[in-house]
Chain A
């Protein structure tokens, strides 16, 4: 089973995902950590050489995946950003952007990272993204994957790795309905594996030091955790579940909150009073501008109502626009009750008042008006849709709606 072997390789070699960690431990002072890896680092012993050989094959496979986002400018931007916060390994790190609508990123032991598009959607500015990349870089700089791999290999003496993976996959299938197989499944597996809390705390501590050195607001890393916690809580609340159950990423452990508290404390120590920090918001929005509608679409269409609502409202803290109002409407419409239909209609109506409303907003605005019996207004909206997107794939159907 090739897909399983790929996962086994990846997980077995201990790629460390952004969201791991279990038991709480004391905060680590960022000043106490220094990179163990210098420029042009090469594997040191037979264990590490073997791991690098495996990883070379994994990277080749990932690099050729058609789930990668090909946008050259965006990839250059990510590569440049990891270069700013990669410490001594700056020129050796590689970033791959995979189209997976999950909030995650992971670093592999040879210095390449996979960032999921779901992460880009949720970042409000460059400082937040820099924090995630710095955290991931730190896993490489501190040789965490090697330590994790040795630890995993030791544990396989107790129970076989394959059966552990089987249990994880089976467990995930029980309550995780999105079967984002392969790359995404891999992410699920990685996040379900309990990584060593000590390693995560180290990566947080070195990561925050790296972004502070690069001139980013140190508090941005804690904010990312706060957003993640808020999203999980709202997702659970909408489904009337406890936030610590039933979601693959944070099943039953308090690590996110602990890590947010530790990062806030570290940020306080690293923030220079009176200094103005550039959050890089404009730069970040410019870099993702072309892909942002896709990022929103991928998230909203998964119909995790609470999560989508939280993400949209968080992004809207920096200002509403036609795109965000439209996807707010989509999220409400997919909640699929007459009450939410009425609220969706309001969002579509609000969206089309912005000059940047996507053409689709006019289509759904028109349909909502039609269902409300407002025929003339509906026709005007649908005509506007056809004018904006004359070759839309559903134009034949919309023309029929206008004719009837």
Chain B
């Protein structure tokens, strides 16, 4: 059974894959494709589209995840920064592939979840699959997203590679499905450097 990991956690899981030469190891060929700037780009399963202000690298979905509604981009490599798009995750679905018998389970998304529960789900994801040692919630506030009443969640985490990372997720539950754009990057330099891109994408996001 393959253990597949979400590329939004790739910074950490790549380290493991690279060391172990395991099934997650990257061949280095055709893994990323280029996202052209200033064009409408469908993400995830195509139910959401964004416009990127500059070129980003889009991770091939087949290698890392079998979750069709989740897609990951990076600017400088997943150790340093990544943006993940969740384009309408359905009730009772996971944001990441996990074995049913895994000791440590990332909670499934449920349509009845409130933003504090979604924030808690993201925290579990990073603690369980990303190796986050310390987790700090910086802010959870209302924010309109895709024309709906959504939320913005800011956080930072110390990972077991001893690097502090910082992130922001903007999302909403619409018709029982989770729409989310999440940015996670090394706290020093990389977070601030790509935050304007993230913000532009959030503002440009449309449902399709």
- Contact across chains for B103 and A304 when beta carbons are under 8 A apart: yes
Is there an interface contact between A394 and B160, defined as CB atoms closer than 8 Å? Answer: no
**Chain B: interface residue total (CB-CB under 8 A):** 55
B110 at the interface (CB under 8 A from A): yes
**CB–CB A179/B130 < 8 A:** yes
Quick check: is B114 within 8 A (CB to CB) of the other chain? Answer: yes
User: Which of A99, A169, A175, A177 is within 8 Å of B133, CB to CB?
Assistant: A99
Cβ contact within 8 Å between A303 and B110:
no
Pick the contact of A169: B16, B112, B119, B129 (CB < 8 A).
B16
Could you tell me the distance between the alpha carbons of A182 and B161 in the complex, rounded to whole angstroms? 6
Q: Which residues in chain B, 113-160, are within 8 Å of chain A measured between CB atoms?
A: 114-117, 119-120, 123-124, 127-131, 133-135, 137-142, 151, 154, 158-160
In the bound complex, residues from chain A placing their C-beta under 8 Å from that of B129 are 177-179
- Interface residue? A144 (CB, 8 A): no
CA distance A65 to B159 in the complex (A): 12
| Beta-carbon nearest neighbor of A7 in chain B | B19
Q: Are B16 and A371 in contact (CB under 8 A)?
A: no
A174 close to chain B: CB less than 8 A: yes
Bound Cα distance A334, B24 (Å): 27
Query: Is B15 in contact with chain A by the CB < 8 A criterion?
Result: yes
Residues on A with beta carbons closer than 8 Å to the beta carbon of B101: 239-241, 246
Q: Is B102 an interface residue, CB under 8 A from the partner?
A: yes
Q: How far is B117's CA from A371's CA once the two chains are assembled, in angstroms? A: 12
The digit string for A228-266, where 1 denotes a CB below 8 A from any CB of B, is 000000010001110000110000000000000000000
Contacts A166-B20, A174-B3, A334-B124: A180 and B102 contacting too (C-beta < 8 A)?
no
List B residues 36-72 near A (Cβ within 8 Å). none
- CB–CB B115/A397 < 8 A: yes
A276 to B92, CA, bound (A): 54
Of the candidates A65, A179, A401, which one forms a contact with B12 in the assembled complex, judged by CB atoms under 8 Å apart?
A179
Q: How far is the CB of B64 from chain A (nearest CB, A)?
A: 14
Partner of B138, one of A174, A183, A364, A393: A393
Verify if B21 is at the interface (C-beta below 8 Å from A). Answer: yes
A175 to B99, CA, bound (A): 9
A44 at the binding interface (Cβ < 8 Å): no
Q: Does B106 belong to the interface (CB within 8 Å)? A: yes
User: Is A342 engaged at the interface, CB distance under 8 Å to the other chain?
Assistant: no
- Which chain B residues lie closer than 8 Å to A179 at the CB level? 12-13, 16, 129-131, 160
Q: In the complex, which residues of chain B have a beta carbon less than 8 angstroms from the beta carbon of A181?
A: 12, 15-16, 131, 159-161
Instruction: Specify which of B98, B103, B133 is in contact with A67 (CB 8 Å cutoff).
Output: B133
A334 to B103, CA, bound (A): 13
Q: Which of A173, A364, A396 contacts B139 (CB 8 A)?
A: A396
CB <8 Å contact, B107 and A246: no
B203: CB under 8 A from chain A?
A: no
Contacts of B131 in A (CB 8 A): 178-181, 184
Q: Are B3 and A394 within 8 A (Cβ)?
A: no
Contact check, A180 vs B141: say whether CB atoms are below 8 A apart.
no
A367 on interface, CB distance cutoff 8 Å? yes
A66 to B151, CA, bound (A): 32
Q: A1 at interface (Cβ–Cβ under 8 A)? A: yes
Please measure, in the bound complex, the distance between the C-alpha atom of A179 and the C-alpha atom of B132, giving whole angstroms. 9
User: Given A166-B21, A170-B20, A185-B160, does the pair A303, B151 have CB atoms closer than 8 Å?
Assistant: no
Minimal beta-carbon separation of B143 from chain A (angstroms) = 10
What 0/1 pattern do residues 372 to 401 of A give for CB contact below 8 A with B?
000000000000000000000110110011
Residue numbers in B under 8 Å from A240 (CB-CB): 101
A169 x B137 contact (CB < 8 A):
no
Contacts of B102 in A (CB 8 A): 175, 177, 239
B residues less than 8 Å from A298 (CB atoms): 127, 133
B207 within 8 A of A: no
Chain A residues, CB < 8 A from B103 = 176-177, 235, 239, 246-247, 304, 307
What is the CA–CA distance of A200 and B88 in the complex, to the nearest angstrom?
53
B187 at the interface (CB under 8 A from A): no
Chain A residue contacts of B110, Cβ below 8 A: 336
Q: A301-B135, A303-B124, A397-B140 are in contact. Are A363 and B116 (CB under 8 A)?
A: yes
Contacts of B158 in A (CB 8 A): 66-67
How far apart are B112's CB and chain A's nearest CB, in angstroms?
7
Contact A3 B116 (CB under 8 A): no
Residue B105 is within 8 A (CB to CB) of chain A in the complex: yes
A194 to chain B, nearest CB (A): 19
Across-interface contacts of A114 in B (CB, < 8 A): none
* A179 vs B3: C-alpha distance when bound (angstroms): 12
Chain B residues in 8 Å Cβ range of A246: 101, 103
Bound form: Cα–Cα A185–B1 in Å: 21
CB of A184 within 8 A of CB of B22, answer no
Q: Chain B contacts of A394 at CB under 8 A? A: 116, 119, 137, 139-141
Which 7 pairs between the two chains have the least Cβ-Cβ distance? Answer: A394-B140, A396-B141, A336-B107, A170-B20, A181-B160, A169-B20, A179-B131
> 21 pairs across A/B with beta carbons < 8 Å?
A67-B133, A99-B134, A173-B17, A173-B20, A173-B22, A177-B3, A184-B133, A185-B16, A239-B101, A246-B103, A302-B124, A304-B105, A334-B105, A336-B107, A367-B114, A367-B117, A371-B114, A394-B137, A396-B140, A396-B141, A397-B115
Interface residue ranges, A against B (CB under 8 Å): 1, 3-4, 65-67, 99-100, 166, 169-170, 173-185, 235, 239-241, 246-247, 298, 301-305, 307, 333-334, 336, 363-364, 367, 370-371, 393-394, 396-397, 400-401
14 extra interface residue pairs, beta carbon distance < 8 Å, beyond A334-B120, A336-B105, A393-B138: A67-B133, A166-B20, A170-B21, A173-B16, A175-B99, A183-B160, A246-B101, A336-B107, A363-B116, A367-B116, A370-B114, A394-B116, A397-B116, A400-B141
